[in-house]
């Protein structure tokens, strides 16, 4: 077999390995969402997210900053929140801050990158997640 064939087989193997790793994470999130749905009712979620643009956007950004995760799982959680009639402003700011702000890993980030940089990056990411989510949803409303 030539080197192209070996590279193709190697790439295919790595893709399957990556997919299997992602699949376990996605399955775990789906199972956790099932538990979440049992203990956190639709009424609880709608009492927190009232439909107010700024309050929902800020709350979504705060929750995303605290609960930090990867993009794949944020789409699943965001879809479930939209299904529970949470505003698109809240879901968008949640997804943005979920991926860009990391309060959980802040101590490690401070250790490796320095206190000033880590705090500035997280603060800017938090503020920009709010601004960008509002602009994104408003743009979507104009386009659609």
> What gap in Å lies between CA 98 and CA 64, rounded to an integer?
4
- pLDDT for res 48: 86
Summary mean pLDDT of the chain: 88
Banded model confidence at residue 1, pLDDT cuts 50, 70, 90: low
Tokens of 15: 């893709």
Confidence of residue 24 (pLDDT cuts 50, 70, 90): confident
pLDDT band at 72 (very low <50, low <70, confident <90, very high): confident
Q: Which 8-state DSSP code applies to residue 40?
A: S
| Domain ranges, ordered by start, for the chain | 1-39, 40-143
Mark residue 85 as left, alpha or beta (left: phi above 0; alpha: psi -120 to 50; beta: remaining).
left
Cα dihedral 127→132→138→143 (10° resolution):
180
Which of 58-62, 69-73, 100-104 holds the top average pLDDT? 58-62
Closest by Cα among 118, 56, 59, 65 to 87: 56
SS3 category, 127: helix
User: Can you tell me the distance from the alpha carbon of 38 to that of 78, in angstroms, rounded to the nearest whole number?
Assistant: 17
Structure tokens at 93: 């700011």
What predicted TM-score, i.e. pTM, was given to this entire model? 0.74
Q: Give 3-state DSSP helix, strand, coil % of the chain, rounded to 5.
A: 85, 0, 15
Tokens coding 140: 């979507």
């Amino acid at each position: 077999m030539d080197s192209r064939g070996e590279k193709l087989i190697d790439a295919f193997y790595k893709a399957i390995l990556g997919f299997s790793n992602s699949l376990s994470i996605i399955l775990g999130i789906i199972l956790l969402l099932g538990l979440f749905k049992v203990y956190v009712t639709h009424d609880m979620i709608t009492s927190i997210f009232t439909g107010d643009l700024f309050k929902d956007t800020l709350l979504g950004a705060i929750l995303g900053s605290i609960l930090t995760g990867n993009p794949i799982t944020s789409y699943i959680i965001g879809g479930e929140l939209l299904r529970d009639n949470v505003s698109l402003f809240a879901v968008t700011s949640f997804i943005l801050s979920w991926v860009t702000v990391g309060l959980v890993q802040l101590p490690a980030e401070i250790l490796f990158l320095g206190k000033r940089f880590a705090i500035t990056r997280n603060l800017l990411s938090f503020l920009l997640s709010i601004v960008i989510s509002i602009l994104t949803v408003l743009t979507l409303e104009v386009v659609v």
